[in-house]
Amino acid sequence: MKGKVFVIGLGLIGGSLAKAVRYAHPEAMIIGTDVSEKNIQLSMLLGTIDDSVSTLEAGACEADLILLAVPVNETVKILTQLADMNLKSGVLISDAGSTKDTVVKAAKPLIDKGVAFIGGHPMAGSHKSGAGAAKLHLFEHAFYLLTPDESIEEKKVEQLKEWLKGTRANFLVVTPAMHDKLTGVVSHFPHIVASGLVKQAENYSKENKLISRLAAGGFRDITRIASSSPEMWRDILLHNRNVLLELMDDWLQEMKHVKGLVEKEDSEEILRFFADAKVFRDDLPTHAKGAIPAFYDLYIDIPDYAGIISEITGYLAQEGISITNIRIIETREEIYGVLVISFQTDVDRIKAADCISRHSDYETILA
């Protein structure tokens, strides 16, 4: 497809969308803007965009496709500004925010003017951020939710999918309300729970410093999502307020139920509680991308001697396998420790396990 694409926000998501559009439509011209001059310059240097503009109007008025990859609060403000501009006839506008009902309502003035705004949410991410973290294949096989207003024609939705086919994502069309309920259950609320667990540990650590030491390892792993951007999650909670309040009430009822089982020492029902959770959890897809970016960890039993980490990473470097994080769990003199290496994709993790098994006798565990 020919035309001009205007990407607002050139960080991880916006940059990756720009790369995907370029891959599928090399004839398109991609213009970008960002509040960070560094992101703009790096995007130009990497060839993510063809040119940049200093004002929204300069990029928006000639665009055939406008993609907003900024926080939801900023998206709402920008949609209001776009509604006052003389946009090109037939322009498509979409965003990449984590909540949709607020955004689609903010786009109503545009929709009333005949502009096709289609809410979007590519459900993929990374532990890195900024223009330099943008990847062509970031959204590959991930779910990409589209939330068109009921007045938007189906052909416009298909047109947006065509523009975004370079993402190689799995597109799903849902209502804005359904999107916010789905993501509330499997993404937004889990972040609240993770942060709550961390806060509880922090409170107890004031009484006993051993808490922070023991919270390493497994506790740190199950609460990793609590390290996400506080500003972003503040906005998500406020914009998905009603859904999350309902989920909080449900959670309190569930915890009240479990508390009652413990008080009554009802071993059979306690067992059922854990067994039901295990069955549902074990039936979840193991290799599919979901609402929360996965952590692809490889656990390696290693001896404690100087140079062991450089030895392992050297094997991976020889085969061009890049890592996102590395750490050691409980390594002590004369016993084996566990080296934990995180990867961007499950494919990289499997390649790494194979690489290490071919070069050494160290046991690897996919987790």
Q: Are residues 338 and 211 in the same domain?
A: no
In terms of average pLDDT, the best of 99-108, 223-232, 307-316 is 99-108
- CA neighbor of 63 nearest in space, from 49, 75, 77, 45: 49
Q: What is the CATH number of the domain that holds 334?
A: 3.30.2130.10
The tally of CA atoms less than 13 A away on the side-chain side of residue 359 is 17
Is the same domain home to 140 and 88?
Answer: yes
Confidence of residue 327 (pLDDT cuts 50, 70, 90): confident
Same domain, 259 and 303: no
- Report the share of the chain in percent with pLDDT over 70: 93
Residues 10 and 147 in one domain: yes
Query: Which residue among 253, 282, 311 closes a domain?
Result: 282
Question: 42 — phi, psi (to 5°)?
Answer: -70, -40
pLDDT tens string 33-77: 999 999 999 999 999 999 999 899 999 999 999 999 999 999 999
Distance, CA of 19 to CA of 25 (rounded, Å): 10
**Single-letter amino acid code for the residue at 360:** S
Task: Report which of residues 79 and 141 the model is more confident about.
Answer: 79
Cα–Cα separations (whole angstroms), residue 354 to 228, 294, 365: 31, 20, 11
Q: Which domain holds residue 8?
A: 4-174
Q: Is residue 290 a part of any domain in this protein?
A: no
Antiparallel, parallel or unpaired: β 65-68 and 325-329: unpaired
Q: Are residues 85 and 30 in the same domain?
A: yes
Q: Is the pLDDT of residue 352 over 70?
A: yes
Asked whether residue 31 falls in the same domain as residue 61, the answer is yes
Query: What pLDDT shows up at residue 330?
Result: 58
Report how far apart, in Å, the C-alpha atoms of 365 and of each of 64, 222, 354 are: 48, 17, 11
CATH number reported for the structural domain that contains residue 209 in this entry: 1.10.3660.10
Confidence label for 175 from pLDDT (cuts 50, 70 and 90): very high
More confident residue, 340 or 27: 27
Asked if residue 289 belongs to a domain, the reply is no
DSSP 4: E
What does the pLDDT read at residue 299? 85
The answer to whether residues 249 and 334 belong to one domain is no
Residues 6+ apart with CB under 8 A from 26: none
Q: How many CA atoms lie within 13 A of 257 on its CB side?
A: 11
Residue-wise pLDDT tens digits, 234-254:
999 999 999 999 999 999 999
- pLDDT score recorded for residue 333: 43
Residue 87 CB neighbours (<10 A):
20
- pLDDT at residue number 291: 66
Q: Of 124, 144, 174, at which residue does a domain stop?
A: 174
33 with 114, same domain: the answer is: yes
Averaged pLDDT, 271-278: 95
Same domain for 247 and 111: no
pLDDT for the residue 92? 97
CA distance 145 to 122: 6
Answer yes or no: is 248 within a domain.
yes
What is residue 367's predicted lDDT score, i.e. its pLDDT? 64
Residue 171 is encoded by which pair of tokens?
Answer: 């597109």
In a domain, 287, yes or no: no
- In this structure, the answer to whether residues 64 and 87 fall within a common structural domain is yes
Decide which of 143, 174, 205 is a domain's last residue. Answer: 174
Domains contained in the chain, number: 3
Q: What is the CATH number of the domain that holds 36?
A: 3.40.50.720
Q: What share of the chain is helix, strand, coil (3-state, %, to 5)?
A: 50, 15, 35
CA–CA distance, 138 with 125 (Å, rounded to integer):
7
Determine the pLDDT at residue 287: 63
Which of the two residues, 314 and 218, has the higher pLDDT score?
314
Look at residue 332 and tell me whether its pLDDT is greater than 60.
no
Q: CA 197, CA 203: separation in Å to the nearest integer?
A: 10
Predicted confidence at residue 342, as pLDDT, reads 84
Reading the block at residue 7, the tokens are 């990407």
Query: Is the pLDDT reported for residue 338 higher than 60?
Result: yes
Integer Rg of the chain from CA? 23
- pLDDT for 4: 96
- What percentage of the chain reaches a pLDDT higher than 90? 65
Q: Are residues 267 and 325 in the same domain?
A: no
pLDDT exceeds cutoff 90 at 260: yes
Predicted pLDDT at 41:
93
Q: Is the pLDDT of residue 306 over 60?
A: yes
Judge whether residue 276 has pLDDT over 60: yes
State whether 144 and 215 are in the same domain: no
Q: What is the per-residue pLDDT for 127?
A: 60
| 291 within some domain | no
